[in-house]
Amino acid sequence: MLVSKSMLRVVDVRKSFGPTPALRGANLEVAEGEILAIMGPSGSGKSTLMHCMAGIFVPDSGEIWFGGQRVDQLDEDNRTELRRSTFGFVFQFGQLVPELTVADNIALPMLLNKEPRKVAYAKANTWLDKLDLKGLGHRRTGELSGGQAQRVALARALATKPKVIFADEPTGSLDSLNAEKVMDLLVDLAREQHTTVILVTHEPRIAASADREVMICDGKVVTAQKVAS
């Protein structure tokens, strides 16, 4: 994978929670269309770094650049808007709204973006086909297996064609077979849509799907290496 140009840039970012420092001057660049895995032991600061990059956390100091704009300088409303319109998120579990059907859950971000109902559900149905969820559109998420639920979460994240997908331990609650299947789908679809993916994981096997992996330790990015294809 060729790195075309830098899409996300983290410059000397520091973030503490009370007296506990989580990031101590992290630096990182992510290229457009790149699939990056952030790895590290528990408590190393990998999720905090991802949340800072996504505009969920505001760093105490340092800079976060997305395209030409400073994400860390945006106010809450603009960061919310950025997350909704430009980013997609996949979490480990619990992101689907239990009362909604599978189709509702996938259509939800489009409805939030004020897309007409018909268009939103037509797109949602397309994603159901793509992710091998055909016939499950009317089911509640509680009736799905873990793998199916994560595929729905993937569909929801990708449905708005985001520029960046932030995936925080997306396979953490799945068995190895389902984990592999979900990761394959994420990578294939991201490449198909030319979407940048920031993936947080502590499993080397999952990180192996990425173009590049970085290690974070004690709040600093310590190594960056290209994954052998």
**Which of 33, 88, 147, 170 touches another protein by CB under 8 A?**
88
Pick one of 12, 43, 70, 226: the residue that binds another protein (CB under 8 A): 43
From the list 12, 17, 161, 223, which residue makes contact with another protein (rule: CB under 8 A)? Answer: 17
Question: What is the Cα 208 distance to its own chain's centre?
Answer: 16
Q: Work out which of 98, 135, 225, 229 binds another protein, going by CB under 8 A.
A: 98
Q: Based on CB atoms, which residue is closest to another protein, 65 or 93?
A: 93
Contact pick of 35, 37, 64, 87 for another protein (by CB under 8 A):
87
- Binding residue for another protein, selected from 13, 26, 28, 51, defined by CB under 8 A: 51
How near is the Cβ of 218 to another protein at its closest, in Å?
Answer: 13
Task: Region of 196 please: left (phi>0), alpha (psi -120 to 50) or beta.
Answer: beta
Write the CB contacts of 178 (distance below 8 Å, at least 6 apart in sequence). Answer: 145, 146, 147, 150, 171
CA angle 187, 80, 191 (to 5 degrees): 15
User: In the complex with another protein, which residue's Cβ is closer, 42 or 225?
Assistant: 42
Applying CB under 8 A, among 7, 38, 82, 179 the residue interacting with another protein is 82
Q: Provide the residue type at 147 as one letter.
A: G
CB of 76 to another protein, least distance (A): 8
Sheet containing 69-70: order of strands: 20-31, 6-17, 61-66, 69-70
Residues between 116 and 175 that touch another protein (CB under 8 A): 116-117, 140, 168
Q: Is 194 exposed, middle or buried (0-12, 13-18, 19+ CB in 10 A)?
A: exposed
Asked if 114 interacts with another protein (CB under 8 A), we say: yes
| Closer to another protein by Cβ: residue 31 or 153 | 153
Does residue 84 bind another protein (CB under 8 A)? yes
- Sheet arrangement for strand 212-217: 87-90, 164-168, 196-200, 35-39, 212-217, 220-226
